[in-house]
Structure 1
Amino acid sequence: MGEHLAVDVGGVLAAVVLVAVLLYVGMVVRRRLFARGGGTVECSLRELPRDGEVPGAWRLGFGRYKGDVLQWHRVFGFRTRPRQVIHRRGLVVANRRGPGPEETESLPPDVTIIEVRDGDLTVELAMGAEALTGFLAWLEAAPPGFPVDLPSPE
């Protein structure tokens, strides 16, 4: 009986490890497929409530520029559709700051946080210097007539 139990436990452990490896490979392949099309940047996101409530948690992800929208996807996920879509038309960059002491553990090092308003949606995006430069260039490259509001540099 002890041998059968050991074989059963070993089989279950092998199946669990196999499933974990397949999930990891699936996430890596998904990310590479997104990156292959170009225009992807590392970008953490957190939603800001309207009524002074506590902001949501920071979620690790990446943004993908697709025409006049920035599609945000979670890193650890399998969805092919974006979790958030930020439209360039009418976009307002309301604030720019460094991470606070309570945010440093949940964000990559050397990021800048920008508050972005797109209609009813208000989010904060945490990006490295290169990603932020690309984001601001994407905003400034809007076609004539696009109302984009950028804060003056500090």
Structure 2
Amino acid sequence: MGEPLSSTTWVPVAEWLLCALLVLVLLALVTVIVRRFALERGGGAVECYLRSGTARRRAWRIGCARYGTEELRWYRIFSLWPRPTAELSRRGLVVMGRRAPTAEDLRELTADLVVIQVGRLSSSGADPERPEYELAMTEGALTGFLSWLESMPPGTIWQS
């Protein structure tokens, strides 16, 4: 059928494959950087960490949260996916608690962050029993989050 590849033949092939792999890695890196720039460019965005519920074993995920009129959209930082990973509707969202990061949290977070637990009011208006998400952010970002949560854009009519 053909002769086996000799070292003089496979070395150029390996070089081309290595170059192609390097180009793909650089392209992915540039795409992540451009995506992050685009997310933060329009304003109303803050860097924060997110994890689901009270599952202490789950890892914190770093991301960028964008404030919208009706919801907070959370995007993973190191992702190529253009859509948000989580969307927190402003309607019925309440802060259930606030705390400093625990020793276990400090493996993934820094000590200057504040951890808040957020949940959703039930249809009867009762407080939530368990948090839906935990968010970790700086004091300044927390102030912005609480202002966003408590404010209402002009002309918006909340329907209960």
- Tell me the TM-score range normalised by the shorter chain: 0.7 to 0.9
Partner of 1:10: 15
Written as runs of structure 1 = structure 2, the 5 A alignment for 1:53-72 is: 54-72=56-74
**Pairing partner for 2:44 from 24, 39, 45:** 39
Could you say which residue in structure 2 is the equivalent of 1:86?
Answer: 88
Q: How many residues align?
A: 144
* TM-score normalised by structure 2 residue count: 0.80
RMSD: 2.3
Cross-structure match for 1:111: 113
Q: Deviation per CA, 1:6-55, whole angstroms, max 9, x where unpaired?
A: 22222121111111110011111111111122111001100016xxx655
TM-score using structure 1 length: 0.83
Query: Can you give the 5+ residue segments of structure 1 that lack an aligned partner in the other structure?
Result: 148-154
Contact 1:90-1:146 within 8 A present in 2 as well: no
SS at match of 2:147: helix
The aligned residue for residue 128 of structure 2 is none
Match of 1:20 in 2: 25
Whole-angstrom distance in 1 between the partners of 2:56 and 2:101: 16
Question: CA shift at 1:141, angstroms?
Answer: 1.6
Contact 2:101-2:111 at 8 Å conserved across structures:
no
Q: Quick check: 31-40 or 104-113, which moved more?
A: 104-113
1:97 corresponds to: 99
Match of 1:60, SS state, is: strand
Bigger Rg, structure 1 or 2? 2
- The verdict on how the C-alpha distance between 1:90 and 1:77 changes in structure 2, with shifts beyond 3 A counting, is same
Separation (CA, whole Å) in 2 of partners of 1:129 and 1:54: 22
